[in-house]
Structure formats: C-alpha cells, structure tokens
Amino acid sequence: MANGFHSSTRLTFKKDIIEPLSDNDYYINDISGIGIFKITKKDFYKDFSNVVISSSYKEKGYYNYCLFPQKGYKYLIADKVIQTIPEKDNNIVLVSNLVSNKIRDKLHELGRLWKQSDSNPKINEKIKEKWEQLIINWKENKNLPLIVRKGSGIRGSELVHITGRRIIITDNSFSQWVYSNVLDGIVYSLDDIDKMLKNDEIPMCFARKKEDANKIKFKKVLGNYSVNKRGWKLCHIDSVGLNSKAPIQKIDINELEKHFIKLGNPQNMFLLPLEIGSLGEIQEFIEEQKD
C-alpha cells in the first residue's frame, strides 16, 4: 500500500499526489494547527466529490478549504493536533489528543439519549416496513427508473444507463419526500409510483434553476414535502454517497441499485431537530440510531 503525503496550513487536496494512488491507498495531509488528515482515495472520491469535479482540482491541480469542513473531521487520525515548537535550530513536534475517548463516549451517550427521547418522532414501524418493501420492489421493477443522488448531475434530468434502465438525478429531495409520506402514514403501490412519475408528482430537487428548465424532465420541487419546514433535519445512517467519478450511465448498475435502496429506504433515515442537526454528521452519534 502506498501513501501520498502533503503538508499545508489548511485542508488541501493535491491532484498530482492523489491520482497515482490506488483506491485503498491513503492521502495524508499534515494540516498545521488542525491535525493529521488521512483518507483513502476511494473515500476521497465518495465524500469529496465536489472537489473531484471542481475546476480548481481538475485544471490547477489542487483544491483547498478556507475553513475545515464538517465532513472532514472523521478523517482526522484520532483527532490528533500537531503543534510545532521551535527550540534553537530544531523543531520539537508534540502530538496531543484533541477528542478523548471520554468525549467520544459522551457523543455515544448523546446518540442514545436522542434515540430514546420523547421528542424523537415515534414512526409507525409497519409504515416503515411497507416503504422498505416498496423501495425494494421499485428497484426490482426494471420498467421504473432508479433515483440517484449525484452532486454533479442536473436535478430532475433523466439519463439512460448502458443496461437500458432509466436514471433520474436528484438531491436529498427524494429522501425527504419518502420520509414526509412516512410521517403522514402514506404508502403507495408501484402502480401509484408509475403514475406519479408520469405526471411529474415526485419532487427531485429543492429548487429549480432557470438555466436548467429546458434540460430536465422532472420539474416538481420539494415544496411542502420538506421535513425542514416541520423543523427537522433528515439524516442517513449508512452513507448514500456514490463512490465513483465515472459517468452515471457507466457505473455498475448493482452499485446504483444499492445506492437507490439506501437513498429511499426509511429504515436508513432518522430525524433531528434543525437546531442540533449537525449531530447527524458525527459517526458516534449516528451509530446509536441503528436499530
């Protein structure tokens, strides 16, 4: 296994270091004052797809963050902070643990508290199970399109996969639409889904851009299906990121099917009040939301 190493004052991705790596090789960024950032090339493409497609990374060969991104914290090695102290002509490097196991235990405890809280919406398990089966049946029905969340795609556009299956690009609107129906106790049949798609009744984007109006087939926006309007943030337990920079039409159809299941299955979702929604990005907290 090879590693690529770079030192900087803020999180920086260097194309000439990352691209020669294999998927499971590590890119290591020693960030002064923050810590050691360590990520596999595979996870870089999955969780930092915005960087991969950016003009800065593609054309200039690097991309850096002015502020350290929330999604990057899980890749800090034991959240170690590096501090360099000059002593005569030498540098002494001290490493300290920023987030102790005690703090991590408290994050787990917070997760359990929310899981058991009276404020945590108690969802009808039968409704969730029916939706889970609906999403599975939807995936199995090749006449229905798969819904795929892809940051680089145009929301509401329809593509045709090399297998012939139709693919619709969305943001998190599709997941919110699913969970909004779950909250209201509404379940559909596959025939219902087919009709709703034909009538453009399933939202595929939060908002529609004017310049995309003539490029998309599905124009319905999230609107009142937004769980945010109810005061909630919708979170996923297992990441729904697509681990590929390939065009969607060429990504393995089995991977797209798995992605669709995770994106649309309410068993892979939970709610948090908007004011503490950022907890939904913390792995220790997320782990406690699993059944």
Digit-coded pLDDT (tens) for 106-126: 999 999 999 999 999 999 999
How does residue 92 score in pLDDT terms, banded at 50, 70 and 90?
very low
Q: How confident is the model at residue 84 (pLDDT cuts 50, 70, 90)?
A: very low
Q: Is the pTM above the cut of 0.85?
A: no
**pLDDT greater than 60 at residue 6:** yes
Q: Which of 240, 236, 231 is nearest to 290 (CA)?
A: 236
The partner residues of 158 in beta bridges, in order of sequence, read 168
Amino acid letter for position 227: V
Answer yes or no: are the C-beta atoms of 212 and 156 closer than 8 Å: yes
Contact between 178 and 266 (Cβ < 8 Å): yes
* SS3 readout for the chain: CCEEEEEECCCEEEHHHHCCCCCCCEEEEEECCCEEEEEEHHHHHHHCHHHHCCHHHHHHCEEECCCCCHHHHHHEHHHEEEEEEEECCEEEEEEEECCCHHHHHHHHHHHHHHHHCCCCCCCCHHHHHHHHHHHHHHHHCCCCCEEEECCCCCCCCEEECCCCCEEEEECCHHHHHHHHHHHCCCCCCHHHHHHHHHCCCCCCECCCCHHHCCCCCCCCECHHHCCHHHCEEEEECCCCCCCCCCCHHHCCHHHHHHHHHHHHCHHHEEEEEHHHHHHHHCHHHHHCCCC
Report percent pLDDT > 70 for the chain. 91
Q: Do 49 and 151 touch, CB atoms closer than 8 A?
A: yes
The CA R_g of the chain, rounded to the nearest whole Å, is 21
pLDDT higher than 80, residue 2: no
C-alpha pair distances (Å), 255 with each of 55, 88, 126, 264: 27, 56, 27, 14
Average pLDDT score, the chain: 88
- Side-chain half-sphere CA neighbours of 282 within 13 A: 18
Beta pairing, strands 158-160 & 26-31: unpaired
CA 107 to chain centroid: 20
User: pLDDT class for 88, splitting at 50, 70, 90?
Assistant: very low
pLDDT in tens, 212-234: 778 889 999 999 999 999 999 99
Q: What are the extents of the domains in the chain?
A: 3-97, 125-287
Are 10 and 51 a contacting pair, CB within 8 Å?
no
Question: pLDDT class for 55, splitting at 50, 70, 90?
Answer: confident
- Give yes or no for residue 242 having a pLDDT over 90: no
Largest CA-CA distance found in the chain, in angstroms, rounded: 76
Q: Which two tokens stand for residue 234?
A: 């919708």
Sequence-ordered list of residues with C-beta below 8 angstroms from that of 39, at least 6 positions apart, any chain: 26, 27, 47, 48, 75
Confidence at 245, pLDDT banded by 50, 70, 90:
confident
pLDDT bucket at 152, cuts 50 / 70 / 90 = confident
Distance CA 46, CA 114 (A): 28
| pLDDT for 144 beyond 50 | yes
Handedness of CA 199, 204, 205, 211 (dihedral sign): negative
